[in-house]
Amino acid sequence: MQGNGCAARLDAAPDPAVLWPAWTPWLLNRPLAAHNASTEKKILQHLAPLHRFGPWLDTLVLARHLLPTAPDHTLSAACTALGLLDRLSALCPGRTWHDALYDAFASALLLEHALHAPLRHLAPFHPRRLALSRRLFDGHRRPSMASDGSRRPARHFPGKKKSSVPPPPKSSV
């Protein structure tokens, strides 16, 4: 069975430890975007397990909202459906899918397209509803750090806490 050539390119690639000093300013303490971000998160976590990356913006989630009736939301299908291929080819001449630079530019163009899309396409990501759509940014909800250093569930809906004490009865005066 013939693959897409990724194994040969990975064997020829420099060691990530050698590249880490150059990557650090681009990866740490910055929002990151990728198509199917969970894959990139796993790779980075494997390479640098003591670092925390993100928040992550997943362009796969954006593609599903921009193209809700599309049968396929892969990066290539989304870019094709949104008419981004000519610009992508101009930015990355001689490259194609599964090339890291090409895929990174494709994700960036998809994100740029989403930022310019009419709000109706991205209604679930309206600022008031972002708390409901944490998947877009992190793929899951994670706990926040309390001021005392302990872990506690993050509150995703700021505002008044519900009281466990029932309200006083209304007077009929």
Give the tens place of pLDDT for each residue, 80-94. Answer: 999 999 999 999 999
Q: Is residue 148 part of a domain?
A: no
The DSSP result for 94-138, as a single string, is T--TT-HHHHHHHHHHHHHHHHHS-GGGGGGGSGGGGGGGHHHHH
Q: Is residue 67 part of a domain?
A: yes
Q: Is residue 5 part of a domain?
A: no
Q: Is residue 119 part of a domain?
A: yes
Q: Is residue 98 part of a domain?
A: yes
Q: Is residue 154 part of a domain?
A: no
Say what angle helices 37-47 and 16-27 make with each other, to 10 degrees: 120
Q: Please, where are the H alpha helices in 48-84?
A: 59-66, 75-81
pTM above 0.85? no
Band (56; pLDDT cuts 50, 70, 90): very high
Distance CA 107, CA 59 (A): 6
Band (36; pLDDT cuts 50, 70, 90): very high
Tell me the HSE value of 107 on the side-chain side, using a 13 A CA sphere. Answer: 20
Q: Indicate the number of domains in the chain.
A: 1
Q: Is residue 56 part of a domain?
A: yes
Q: Is residue 59 part of a domain?
A: yes
3-state secondary structure of 140: coil
